[in-house]
A and B are shown apart, each in its own frame.
Chain A
Amino acid sequence: MSMPFYVSPEQMMKDRADYARKGIARGRALVALQTPSCIVIVAENPSTTLRKVSEIYDRIAFAGVGKYNEFDQLRVAGVRAAELRGYQYSRNDVDARSLANQYAQVLGDVFSTSGPKPLEVELLVAEVGDTQEHDRLFHILYDGTLLDERRFSVLGGDAEGISKRLESTYRDDLDLATAIKVAVSALTGPERSVAADDLEIATLVRNGRRRSFSRISDEAVAAALR
């Protein structure tokens, strides 16, 4: 009978975290910015069909980085959780905080106990409010850590570098076109540039209508970057 090697819990957690972090760092990053008119989410994504940013509910958007199949399953689970709550209670009872908690629970659970490997994803659950103060940006890490962020949120590899660039360029009174420019230059850094059709940009618009999520076309993105 073989004896399993002893691995200390610290070592096991560290190994799992390294594994997840490496997986996430392989993909491109994503940023979300609060502006007076909307929350804008900007991702580098050459695919026009496999989305990183999508609609969850009336005022709630989802964005994921890392392994596509893993965060897409979580996206669908989020749509289901939100729709079920809206169906059983009321549309007003669906909020980002509860959804973010559920995501944190799933990711934490897979990370520490149930999964053979941690999920290689980072998620953003954004909710647009009546005013900028009521916006919510919940950032969920691969191990279930839940962060409540303000002003902007950065997900994915090189998050530190991008955050640093945004610290110096972000203001809370940006219009949409400028916000897109700021987000893109933070994502790429000074050395690199990215074409409009390699960007996926969506907004949660503060317009009082029921469904606030909308995608921004490549032409509009190109115009904003010009």
Chain B
Amino acid sequence: MTMPRFAAGDDPGASFPDLLRKLGIDPFPSMSGAVVEANLRGGGSDNAIPHATTCLALTYDRGVVMAGDRRATMGNIISTRSVEKVVPADDLSGVAIAGTAGLAMEMIKLFQLQLEYYEKVEGQALSLEGKANQLSMMVRSNMPAAMQGLGVVPLFAGYDPLVSRGRLGGRYEERDFVAVGSGSMLASTVLRVGWRKNLSRDAAIELAARALWEASDTDTATGGPDILRGIYPIVASIDANGWSRVSDESLASTYEAIMREVRSR
């Protein structure tokens, strides 16, 4: 392996995807239509844009809470029960992804790498808005694959030190909360009813857990808390001190309370 060096006018700068392209490694290869068509014909083309999941984010008084279920599906089959769809992107932001699992994981990996790469090359981290724009550019680069049924629908949230509050968004920036995936309608209804200005962290976590519960209650592609196996959704908060994931024990008691309330209905 030789060290990559470029002439001044040819330098890809602080963009890792551009560096990859310069070296002939395209991180978002355009798929040949025939291959994708064959795949779709073989696997059934009902879910042309598969986004079977529910991920959400909402703001609270000191930042944002992100949450996502753990289920991965292939048609009507549960293929994995413990997928981590919500991951930290860097110290102050996180990303949740609905869509084609393999491509989504690949995109998250590239996104995390890009944020760190930029920070090292430039000597300072990107602004939160810069990070969001980077992610949106990656989604756009993935358009050829998305048009052929391999879409990735991310949700981005983080703490913005420039305005000292949490910010979040999917297609575009939202103010209070956002949900993506097949259960997003169900989850965002719960969020819309329950969201208040300046929620505490605990209240925001409880609301996120409840929104996922209601989504999983009706949407078959969204997993609920799996008490039998001890698998709970991923819930995490991001504030000025960074990413902190809510422990399974704490989620277990949150869900215990939700279930008690449901039983007493």
16 A-B pairs with CB atoms under 8 Å apart are: A49-B123, A54-B120, A77-B3, A77-B4, A77-B5, A78-B3, A79-B121, A81-B3, A81-B4, A85-B1, A87-B110, A87-B113, A102-B2, A102-B3, A105-B2, A106-B5
Q: How many residues of B contact A (CB 8 A)?
A: 17
B2 x A79 contact (CB < 8 A): no
Across the interface, which residues of B come within 8 angstroms of A83, CB to CB?
Answer: 16, 113, 117
With A51-B123, A54-B123, A84-B19 in contact, do A79 and B117 touch (Cβ < 8 Å)?
A: yes
Does B23 interact with chain A (Cβ within 8 Å)? Answer: yes
Docked CA distance A79–B16 (Å): 11
Instruction: Tell me the A43-98 residues at the B interface (CB within 8 Å).
Output: 49, 51, 54-56, 73, 76-81, 83-88, 98
Docked CA distance A83–B14 (Å): 12
For B119, the closest partner residue in chain A by CB is: A55
Q: Interface residues, chain A, CB within 8 Å of chain B? A: 49, 51, 54-56, 73, 76-81, 83-88, 98, 102-103, 105-106, 211
Across the interface, which residues of B come within 8 angstroms of A84, CB to CB?
Answer: 1, 4, 19-20, 23
Work out how many contacts link A and B, with CB atoms closer than 8 A: 46
Across the interface, which residues of A come within 8 angstroms of B123, CB to CB?
Answer: 49, 51, 54
* Supplied contacts A56-B120, A84-B23, A87-B113, 11 more A-B pairs, CB within 8 Å: A49-B123, A54-B123, A73-B5, A77-B3, A79-B117, A80-B19, A81-B1, A83-B113, A83-B117, A105-B2, A106-B5
Docked CA distance A44–B123 (Å): 18
Docked CA distance A76–B2 (Å): 14
A103 x B120 contact (CB < 8 A): no
Instruction: Tell me the B69-86 residues at the A interface (CB within 8 Å).
Output: none
For A106, the closest partner residue in chain B by CB is: B3
B2 x A80 contact (CB < 8 A): no
Docked CA distance A105–B4 (Å): 12
Across the interface, which residues of A come within 8 angstroms of B25, CB to CB?
Answer: 88
A76 x B121 contact (CB < 8 A): yes
Docked CA distance A70–B120 (Å): 17
For A80, the closest partner residue in chain B by CB is: B4
Docked CA distance A76–B3 (Å): 10
Q: How far is the CB of A140 from chain B (nearest CB, A)?
A: 12
Across the interface, which residues of A come within 8 angstroms of B4, CB to CB?
Answer: 77, 80-81, 84
Across the interface, which residues of A come within 8 angstroms of B116, CB to CB?
Answer: 211
For A79, the closest partner residue in chain B by CB is: B120
Docked CA distance A98–B2 (Å): 10
Across the interface, which residues of B come within 8 angstroms of A77, CB to CB?
Answer: 3-5
Instruction: Tell me the B114-130 residues at the A interface (CB within 8 Å).
Output: 116-117, 120-121, 123
Q: How far is the CB of A210 from chain B (nearest CB, A)?
A: 10
Q: How far is the CB of A221 from chain B (nearest CB, A)?
A: 19
Q: How far is the CB of B25 from chain A (nearest CB, A)?
A: 8
For A83, the closest partner residue in chain B by CB is: B117
Of B1, B16, B117, which is within 8 A of A98 by CB? B1
Instruction: Tell me the B169-195 residues at the A interface (CB within 8 Å).
Output: none
A105 x B3 contact (CB < 8 A): yes
Across the interface, which residues of A come within 8 angstroms of B23, CB to CB?
Answer: 84
